[in-house]
Amino acid sequence: MAHSIIELQTNLVTALKADAQLLALLGNGVFDAPPKGRKAPFVAIIRHDVISRDGDETPGFEHRILLHARHDDVSRKAVLEIVERVIFIALNEDLSSASLLITHVQHDKIETRIDGKSGQAVAAISLRFLSEPTI
């Protein structure tokens, strides 16, 4: 069994890459780590923290995932279209797999800014997942 971080990230990235509406906004711009030298628009997982949340009989984990969305438009409107789609996918797709059961998904926060160096609109998306191994 792969570590729950790898499994959840793989499942999330796969779901994002499979969404036609998101791909129309990004092209081939979904990454599981920040891409070097990649021009916007794109979405990347920036951070993935896991906290043990074991129950009486079942081991469990709380995942905190931080994604960044970038768009080369100075307006926040374009980057927020990306954000809305990413959140919709995260909340509505089944990200479980044969060895990982996702029991809860929650969108916690969006932060936006205009990057002073690049002029790009940037949004940080904070998501929370609870998972349990199925085996």
Q: Encoding tokens for residue 111?
A: 């932060």
Q: What is the pLDDT of residue 85?
A: 98
pLDDT tens per residue across span 75-133: 899 999 999 999 999 999 999 999 899 999 999 999 999 999 989 999 999 999 999 98
DSSP labels, 44-100: EEEEEEEEE---SSS--EEEEEEEEEEESSSSHHHHHHHHHHHHHHHHHS----SSE
For 13, the 3-state DSSP assignment is helix
Residue 3 has pLDDT above 90, yes or no: no
Q: What is the pLDDT of residue 64?
A: 98
Q: State how far the Cα of 117 lies from the Cα of 18, in Å rounded to an integer.
A: 32
Residue 23 has pLDDT above 90, yes or no: yes
The torsion angles phi and psi of 91, rounded to 5 degrees, stand at: -80, -25
Closest CA to 126 of 30, 61, 47: 47
Task: Give the total number of structural domains in the chain.
Answer: 1
pLDDT tens per residue across span 24-72: 999 999 999 999 989 999 999 999 999 988 766 778 999 999 999 999 9
CATH number, domain of 60, equals 3.30.2000.30
Closest CA to 87 of 37, 43, 24, 56: 43
Q: What is the pLDDT of residue 135?
A: 72
Confidence of residue 13 (pLDDT cuts 50, 70, 90): very high
Domain that holds residue 100: 4-133
